[in-house]
Amino acid sequence: MSRIYLSPPHMSPDERELLLEAFDSNWIAPLGPHVDAFERELAAFVGVPYAAALSSGTAALHLALLLHGIGAGDSVLCSTFTFAATANAIRYVGAEPVFVDATEADWCMDIEQVERALAAERARGKRVKAVMPVDLYGLLPDLAALEALCEREGLVLIEDAAEALGSRRDDRSAGSFGACAAFSFNGNKIITTSGGGMLVSHDAGIVERARYLSTQAREPFPHYEHVTVGFNYRLSNLLAAVGRGQLMHLPERIDARRANAVAYREALADVPGFRFMPEPEGTESNHWLTCVLIDPEMAGVDREAVREHLAADQIEARPLWKPMHLQPVFADCPSYGSGVSERLFAIGLCLPSGSSLTDGDRARVIDRIRSTPGLR
Ligand SMILES: *Cc1c(COP(=O)(O)O)cnc(C)c1O
């Protein structure tokens, strides 16, 4: 039996052709025509005017914070239910992450808890500068409401859209909210360049500055002149070529991932204690990963029993993100919540969700889940 992965890369002949074209052109540097074109094409797809192609989504988050003047002594409100990269970026600039819980309704940042955290942190004398919500597993939180809150409170909104390229909420695209947003093209994301990211913004100055900082902050002189500490964060032209090919096929990839979500939902609808990720009114997920909650009392088995039974048949499934406020590395950071993300982590499982998953693969996953010993 071949191994079924959670979310493997899915390439087409177009990526190969563009990559070879880039190779043969000898534009191997972290600049070149494919970088410029990838930026233009991704910005157009998202519906924002400006984009800077970077070496990772984490680099995009790091620069986003730096470019808004966030640093030592500042606090940033951040989704606790996320991948570590979101919180790590806050640490890179010397600021303090303040973790905010998720809602039951969309598993994303809880705006009531944001307000509670803001009031409490300010009362403690903390300087809260920014809010970093995460578009979780392709689902967007109520970012319009968060935008309004940030406007009212004088905060910078930085959207971590790493998992949500192609998603929408209330007819606005992931990546179009707030001051700027970060996308990721890591190997397991909906499109990949093996490693890469993009900072997008409505603000030309921010993106211009991101390009400058990501290429070692070189001043326009014939010799190497520097007045600022820069970074080596630019995307290579070879990888940008792959990204362009991937982007051409994104709509089909979203359709394939949605088909996974629909198929799992239908095939497992009658299993007691199984509940899938919600899709609130007005949201349109890219269905990056299909996630299921397994109530052990009702199902007769817990999440780990299902995961291990799948693993024994070479099927990769993973628990949902372990909340940041439970991570030893962030144990000293303030956290506001009511236990939602802790419960999601305890009982949630991400199922194989790749766009290259065949009907046969999916049937194998479903049959295997249904044959978990003890399942009702
Ligand atoms: C993948 C991911 C990132 C980081 O992206 P990289 O390109 O791997 O650096 C950041 N935030 C979230 C929520 C992610 O899932």
Residue 70 lies inside a defined structural domain of this protein: yes
- Of 372, 338, 356, which Cα lies nearest the Cα of 80? 338
- The pick from 107, 163, 165, 236 for probing ligand 1's pocket by mutation, whose C-beta has the most ligand atoms within 8 angstroms, reads 163
Residue 285 lies inside a defined structural domain of this protein: yes
Read off the pLDDT of residues 304-347 as tens digits, 9 standing for 90 and up. Answer: 999 999 999 999 999 999 999 999 999 999 999 999 999 999 99
Residue 3 lies inside a defined structural domain of this protein: no
Here the CATH number for the domain that contains residue 206 is 3.40.640.10
Q: Do residue 202 and residue 255 come from a single domain? A: no
* Total count of domains within the chain: 2
Decide: 83 in ligand 1 pocket, CB within 6 A. Answer: yes
Q: Ligand 1: which residue has its CA nearest to atom 14?
A: 162
DSSP reduced 3-state for 240: helix
Domain residues for 83?
13-246
Q: For residue 136, give every residue at least 6 positions away whose Cβ sits within 8 Å of its Cβ, in sequence order, or none.
A: 79, 81, 82, 102, 106, 107, 108, 163, 321
Residue 5 lies inside a defined structural domain of this protein: no
Atom of ligand 1 nearest to the CA of 188: 1
Ligand 1: centre distance to CA 262 (Å): 25
Alpha-carbon distance values, 136 to 53, 55, 223 (Å): 22, 21, 45
H helix runs in 93-235, sequence order = 111-123, 143-153, 204-214
Q: Do residue 311 and residue 210 come from a single domain? A: no
> What's residue 281's pLDDT?
93
Q: What is the rounded average pLDDT of the residues 150-175?
A: 98
- The pick from 7, 42, 56, 58 for probing ligand 1's pocket by mutation, whose C-beta has the most ligand atoms within 8 angstroms, reads 58
> What's residue 31's pLDDT?
84
Domain end point (choices 229, 246, 263): 246
Q: Do residue 74 and residue 142 come from a single domain? A: yes
Q: Do residue 92 and residue 202 come from a single domain? A: yes
Chain mean pLDDT for the chain:
97
Decide: 79 in ligand 1 pocket, CB within 6 A. Answer: no
Q: Rounded CA gap, 112 and 100, in Å?
A: 10
Q: Do residue 64 and residue 133 come from a single domain? A: yes
Ligand 1: centre distance to CA 3 (Å): 24
Residue 139 lies inside a defined structural domain of this protein: yes
Decide: 162 in ligand 1 pocket, CB within 6 A. Answer: yes
Q: Do residue 238 and residue 354 come from a single domain? A: no
Could you tell me the pTM of the whole model? Answer: 0.98
Q: Do residue 89 and residue 235 come from a single domain? A: yes
